[in-house]
Structure 1
Amino acid sequence: MTWFPWSESIKRRACRYLLEHYLGSYLQEKLKLEQLSLDVYHGKGYVQNVQLDVNAVNEALSHLHLPFEIVHGSIGSIAVYMPWSALLKESCEVEINGLNLVAQLRQSQNVDFSSMTDSFCNSLKNMTTSMEFAEQCFNEVFE
């Protein structure tokens, strides 16, 4: 995967935008450009040792009525693969490695599996297409 000949600053901002777009609300702290590392040869940006905002994760899971809650969470590394030479034609990829979650049981043990299935199906319907995302990314990075 080759990188389009854009400046490193623009590539860094695009990687951060992609990470913030999909994962930002679940991260304890906003990502800083200095945290991102770039692997120009492989078209990859990555960040390591990221803490999760367990309140946001629990809030996102609350409608599932799970019998547990997350009390601590971290991610070993997050990699973003961006096909710079074909950004409007190929998909970007986000890879999470080393996801660690510590959970504890809730007081209530009622689990509603039908709402879990409905929620998952609704999430799939609301996903952004690659073209829509590329347009959002370009608007954010070049503003």
Structure 2
Amino acid sequence: MKKLFLMLLLVLPLTARSEITTQVSCFRSLEGKNINFEFRTYYDSVTQWSGTGVRYSKSKKAISLVHRSTEQEILAEDRPYQFTTTWVEVSEGALTGEYEMVRQGARIYGMTYTNYKSGKKYSFDQDISMEASPETGCQW
């Protein structure tokens, strides 16, 4: 019996292995300056943990985002719900702005960024033609 138990310990994993999935979306500004950023979401299905961050094309450093809220809306009975999600930007220990994304199904219909200090609001479109992967990010 003891040998069987030891054999099972070697054959069966002791803990559940989880894999963090990463999704990368690329965004371009709609007006004014040419501003580009990649938006990354991370999700661990075992622990139910998720994280989000942005990295601007001219920066090597990512900025952490903290989920504030998600609202859902039914636009039509036969369509997927529309979700509006807001994240707060945390840079160098301070709350510096917020991002708001509007999506329906897999399609992102709008992304805005509001800078808390200046009050200025920027609008972005998702660049679905941009090649992106978790390993390389957006290829600006």
- Between structure 1 and structure 2, the one with the greater Rg is 2
| Greater share of residues in strand | 2
TM (norm. structure 1) is 0.27
TM (norm. structure 2) is 0.27
Greater relative contact order (CA < 8 Å, ≥ 6 in sequence): 1
